[in-house]
């Protein structure tokens, strides 16, 4: 019996990991890319459900942390951001994965409002 290939290669996840506040995290834009949704969709889901995320699952970077992250990354992949990104710990990324309906719901609302 053959082995099952992972949906997302581990190397892709490892490349996206950063060390912030002593924790390994993945930023919202990278997590959104893994879920194949827009970063704004993930951010809206976080804002609506922020009370469900303990600080050890997800947190928003401070402006100073955000500047440090941008300096560590090899060039900016994006234009400017209007807000500091959210950072998800392993537990937070797993929770988002298990509550995919939250992300899908945010995407659905975004699509409906865009088509209005």
112 inside domain: no
Residue, of 31 and 100, whose pLDDT is higher: 31
55 inside domain: yes
Q: Which helix (H) or strand (E) holds 60?
A: strand 58-60
pTM of the predicted model over 0.75: no
4 inside domain: no
Tokens 């949704």, located at residue: 37
Q: Is the pLDDT of residue 25 over 90?
A: yes
41 inside domain: yes
pLDDT digits (tens, 9 = 90+) for 41-76: 888 887 787 777 787 888 999 989 988 888 776 555
Residue, of 112 and 43, whose pLDDT is higher: 43
3 inside domain: no
Please check whether residue 83 is in contact with residue 25, taking contact to mean a CB–CB distance below 8 angstroms. no
Percent of the chain residues past pLDDT 70, beyond the cut: 69
20 inside domain: yes
Q: What total of structural domains would you count in the chain?
A: 1
Q: Is the pLDDT of residue 103 over 70?
A: no
Domain range enclosing 87: 10-104
């Amino acid at each position: 019996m053959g082995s099952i290939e992972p949906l997302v290669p581990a190397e892709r996840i490892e490349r996206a990991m950063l060390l912030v506040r002593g924790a390994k995290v993945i930023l919202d834009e990278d997590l959104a890319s893994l879920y194949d949704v827009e970063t704004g969709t993930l951010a809206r889901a976080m804002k609506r459900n922020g009370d469900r995320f303990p600080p050890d699952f997800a947190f928003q970077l401070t402006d100073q942390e955000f500047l440090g992250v941008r300096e560590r990354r090899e060039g900016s992949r994006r234009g400017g951001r209007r807000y500091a990104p959210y950072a998800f710990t392993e537990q937070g990324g797993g929770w988002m994965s298990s509550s995919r309906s939250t992300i899908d719901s945010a995407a659905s609302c975004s699509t409906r409002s865009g088509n209005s």
